[in-house]
Structure 1
Amino acid sequence: MITTDALSDLGDFREELFIDLVDTEYYLRATDAGWPTVLADAEFDHSLGTFVEARIGGQSIRLGGQPLKVRIAASWRYYYIFRNRLLVSRNYARRHPAWVTAGCFADLRHLAIVTMLAPGRRARLTAALAGVKDGLRGLTGKKPGT
Structure 2
Amino acid sequence: MSVPTPNSDNIVAVIVTYYPDVNFIDRVAAILPQVAQIIIVDNTSSGRLADIQQRLSSFDRIHWILNPQNFGVAKALNQGIGWAKKKGYPWVLTFDQDSLPCRDMVDRLKQVYEQLNDPEKIAVIGSNYVEPNSGRVYYASRMHPKKLWVEQKTVVTSGSLMPIGLFDKIGTFREDFFIDNVDIEYCLRARRSGYKNILVVEPLLKHAIGNPKAHHMFSLSWFKTYTSHYAPFRWYFIIRNRLILVGEYLLIDPFWAAHHFIHFIGFIVKGILFEEDKREKLRCVWLGVIDAITGNRHIWPPK
TM-score band w.r.t. shorter chain? 0.7 to 0.9
Deviations 1:42-71 (A, max 9, x none): 665452222457599xxx94626xx98643
Deviations 1:7-64 (A, max 9, x none): 11111110111111111111111101101221456665452222457599xxx94626
Q: Which one has a larger percent helix, Structure 1 or Structure 2?
A: 1
In 1, Cα distance between equivalents of 2:219 and 2:270 = 13
Residue aligning to 1:19: 179
Are the equivalent residues in 2 in contact too, given 1:75–1:124 (CA < 8 A)? yes
Structure 1 residue 122 displacement after superposition: 0.8
1:1-146 equivalences under 5 Å are 1-40=161-200, 45-51=206-212, 54=215, 61=219, 63=221, 70-143=227-300
The 1:69/1:93 distance shift into structure 2, 3 A limit, reads: closer
In 2, Cα distance between equivalents of 1:110 and 1:32 = 26
Unpaired segments of 5 or more residues in structure 1? none
Q: Structure 1 residue runs of 4+, over 6 Å off? A: none
In 2, Cα distance between equivalents of 1:68 and 1:97 = 27
User: Matched residue pairs, number?
Assistant: 141
The 1:55/1:76 distance shift into structure 2, 3 A limit, reads: farther
In 2, Cα distance between equivalents of 1:107 and 1:6 = 30
Q: Which one has a larger percent strand, Structure 1 or Structure 2?
A: 2
In 1, Cα distance between equivalents of 2:193 and 2:225 = 43
Are the equivalent residues in 1 in contact too, given 2:229–2:271 (CA < 8 A)? yes
Structure 1 residue 145 displacement after superposition: 6.2
The 1:53/1:103 distance shift into structure 2, 3 A limit, reads: closer
For the aligned residue pairs, the C-alpha RMSD in angstroms reads 2.8
In 2, Cα distance between equivalents of 1:110 and 1:139 = 22
Calculate percent identity across the aligned residue pairs: 26
Unpaired segments of 5 or more residues in structure 2? 1-160
Are the equivalent residues in 1 in contact too, given 2:239–2:289 (CA < 8 A)? yes
In 2, Cα distance between equivalents of 1:69 and 1:13 = 28
Structure 1 residue 119 displacement after superposition: 2.2
In 2, Cα distance between equivalents of 1:86 and 1:93 = 10
Once the two structures are overlaid, the 10-residue window that deviates more, 1-10 or 26-35, is: 1-10
TM-score w.r.t. length of structure 2: 0.41
Residue aligning to 2:137: none
TM-score w.r.t. length of structure 1: 0.80
